[in-house]
Amino acid sequence: MQRLQQAATHQHFFYTSGRTDLAGFDRLTKKFADVYGTELSRQTKHKRRLAGEASSLLHGVRLTTRSENGQRSVDWVLLVSEGRGLVIQREQLQDLRDPHSRLKSSDQQHELVHDGKTWSWRLTHRSYNQCLDRIHRIASLSPDRRRYIEIDGVLRDADAEILLDRLYAEPGFRLVRRQVGKLVGELRRDWRRLRPSNGPQLSERSFLAYIRFLPDQPVINGLTHAERRQAFLSAFPDQAGTPMARGHG
């Protein structure tokens, strides 16, 4: 999600996307690199854009679900800037700036938008309204349907705490953070209005942290570098000081 946001910020407004398995993504990576130059250096792409040519980026994320052949699935997005090129001719590209074709996350819960200031991810209207409905249902539950748990020796409402856990686990993009703040505020207002002051109260939470910049994790033979390193250490635990174990292999 962070990489897609960065691509949009650098004017890669057009995209196409899909889902495949690891083997299919490997073939797609090689094909797009050969035909569309997705793996050219940043400087080369910049020069081509200055010359009026389109530049392309390919990003993928592995999912927990598996394809029919048992492999892990990969959601991929090809992003393209304005300009000339085969990618413009061959691919059916959608425009990030069109409200009817906004790019959504793999779970379909978030969408990439420009709010007049910059590009950021936010909860979709559907996801946001589902959270609002859940807030109102939880706060208005009748006493016989309320569930309680003890957290650090304090009695809390189980459903409310589960919802707060989910909200504070959201990715901390600027617009998502703003939405989470509004949702938590709504929950606290409903709680004061509908729940007794002498009953279990909502736990205090720290603010939703901003997204940190994370490095890319290229996949080679179905494994990221971190996964290959872990596999190496599992097979050779006495080699912790080797270049591979130090992250240079």
Residues 84, 14: one domain? yes
Query: The pTM is what?
Result: 0.81
Residues 71, 7: one domain? yes
Residues 161, 126: one domain? yes
Residues 162, 68: one domain? no
Predicted pLDDT of residue 107 = 86
Residues 153, 64: one domain? no
Residues 81, 165: one domain? no
User: In terms of residue numbers, what domain contains 242?
Assistant: 217-249
Residues 203, 158: one domain? yes
Predicted pLDDT of residue 245 = 39
Predicted pLDDT of residue 243 = 45
Residues 116, 195: one domain? yes
Domain end: 103, 119, 140, which one?
103
Q: How many domains does the chain have?
A: 3
Domain end: 52, 80, 103, which one?
103
Residues 131, 147: one domain? yes
Residues 159, 186: one domain? yes
Q: What average pLDDT values come out for the chain (249 residues) when binned by 10 residues? A: 94 95 92 96 94 95 75 91 96 96 92 95 97 97 96 95 96 95 97 95 87 66 53 55 41
Q: What is the DSSP string of the chain?
A: -HHHHHHHHTT--EEEEEEEEHHHHHHHHHHHHHHH-TTS-HHHHHHHHHTTB--EEEEEEEEEEE-TTSPEEEEEEEEE-SSBSHHHHHS--EETTSGGG--B-TTSSEEEEE-SS-EEEEE-HHHHHHHHHHHHHHHT--GGG--EEEETTEEEEHHHHHHHHHHTTS---HHHHHHHHHHHHHHHHHHHHHS-TTS--PPP-PPPPPPPP-----EETTEEHHHHHHHHHHH-GGGTTSHHHHT--
Domain end: 68, 103, 138, which one?
103
Residues 85, 137: one domain? no
Residues 98, 192: one domain? no
